[in-house]
Amino acid sequence: MNKIWAARLPASSRGLAQRLHWCARGLTVAVLSQIGSLVLFTVMVVTLASLVVGVGFLVLPVVMIAVRGLANFHRRTAEEWSGVPIETPYRPTDSNDPYDTAGSVTHCRQLLSDPATWRDFLWTLLDTPVGLILGLLPASFVAYGLNGMFVTPLLWESMGPHWGFGAIWFITDQTEANLAIPQGMLFVVLGLLISPSLARLHIRFNRLLLSPTRNARLTLRVERLTETRSETMESQAAELRRIERDLHDGAQARLVSLGMSLGLADTLLESNPAMVRKLLADAVESSSQALTELRDLVRGIHPPVLAERGLDGAVRALAVSLAVPVEVQIDLPSRPQLPVESAVYFVIAEALTNITKHSGAGRASVRLWYAGGKLRAQVGDDGRGGADAEGGSGLRGLQRRLAAFDGELAISSPTGGPTLVTMELPCAL
């Protein structure tokens, strides 16, 4: 609603509203730097000092939840205000519940051995003055200027001779008080002009201290690859078991039945020709069914349409076969690598299947494109929403499939819809 209202304003009014919004954001930064950073820095100092007597081992996990919560809030606001995300640098610990492990020296040692803990400590110290100055300065200029424009010309006599209250010179008469009006306008304009720049400067300051270092990125990368490798191996083992089960219960059973029918037909060839003809007919039907099941199994491993028509044609074929109308937008300059192509195809296929089974949607959409060295796809619908990777809808399996290629899958599905599944994975065309 605010965006619609802002869009109806003239361009000059929208610009003024945006700069006032930046001033309000600066005030938020200033307040958080004092109430949040200063208080948490003081608490951290006391907690670290109390480690000597053992009390700190009970308090440190709780304090770190508060510190990391404030840091994560600044990471989220930085992404919202600038569009550039700040990665979370924290190493995983044995427990995220401080009440279960508050007395554990091991848990505290893990927290204290994490470089991100000490960077957060430094950030809370420096953010106290930096956040106050960068956040409060634009709003102070605006407030000082408004005072000079509206208060000083009317109330200067009751204030007495002074330099402040909206003027930077010594006021002795009404003429000098009236000169505070243009000066106040300059202060208001200056405050509005510098508000976005100072807010972005504070975001750069946060990014400098709250982003993971190069070594931390490498460590997190190794941990993530180890986790995804384990998940991929489990997924592949489950897929092999599925193929083995399908072969055993399907094609293999039919081929065994086919062999038995042909053997019996050979035995009855001279004594009962009518029965032989029936057995041969059954054998033909069994072989046809076995062939169909083998084709379905192969299609589940690597669909022929994907090999013949590529990812573009295969996704369009999926959309045509879906019961829900699907809008398809594909912009691929050439074909990706075959393993990547297969993974993306199956992820899109599963997402579309979830739409027909669970969403109650009337329409769906698929968008597929390549940019920045990454293959990206979005599958959306106008259904009831509420999709969750932990809810057993198969989305967790999609995440594991993409993780094998260092890909990511994000889900936006508020209750009431719409649902948007976004995936990306690095690849070369």
| CA nearest neighbour of 413 among 378, 388, 379 | 388
The domain ranges of the chain are: 12-210, 228-301, 308-426
pLDDT at 168 exceeding the cut of 70 = no
295-315 pLDDT, tens digit per residue, is 666 655 667 777 778 888 888
pLDDT value of position 120: 93
Contact of 138 with 26, CB cutoff 8 Å = yes
pTM, whole model, 2 decimals?
0.57
206 band by pLDDT with thresholds 50, 70 and 90: very high
Give the span between the Cα atoms of 78 and 29, in whole angstroms.
Answer: 11
40-55 pLDDT, tens digit per residue, is 999 999 998 888 887 8
Helix (H) or strand (E) holding 385: none
End-to-end Cα separation, the chain, in angstroms:
42
pLDDT value of position 234: 64
82-112 pLDDT, tens digit per residue, is 877 888 888 877 654 544 544 567 788 888 8
Contact of 425 with 374, CB cutoff 8 Å = yes
Give the span between the Cα atoms of 379 and 324, in whole angstroms.
Answer: 13
Contacts of 20 (CB under 8 A, 6+ apart): 192
**For tokens 């200027």, what's the residue?**
145
Task: Supply the DSSP symbol for 53.
Answer: G
pLDDT value of position 392: 52
pLDDT at 8 exceeding the cut of 50 = no
Average pLDDT for the chain: 79
Angle value at C-alpha 390, between 413 and 101, nearest 5 degrees:
120
pLDDT at 419 exceeding the cut of 90 = no
- How large a percentage of the chain has pLDDT more than 70? 81
240-271 pLDDT, tens digit per residue, is 676 667 666 666 777 777 777 777 777 777 77
pLDDT value of position 417: 77
User: Is it true that the peptide bond before 212 is cis, omega within 30 degrees of 0?
Assistant: no
171 band by pLDDT with thresholds 50, 70 and 90: confident
Average pLDDT over residues 220-245: 66
415 band by pLDDT with thresholds 50, 70 and 90: confident
User: Which fold, 308-426?
Assistant: Heat Shock Protein 90 (3.30.565)
**Residue 140's beta-bridge partner residues?**
none
pLDDT at 160 exceeding the cut of 70 = no
Residue 48 in tokens:
């670290």
**For tokens 């936006």, what's the residue?**
412
**For tokens 């420096």, what's the residue?**
126
Give the span between the Cα atoms of 345 and 354, in whole angstroms.
Answer: 14
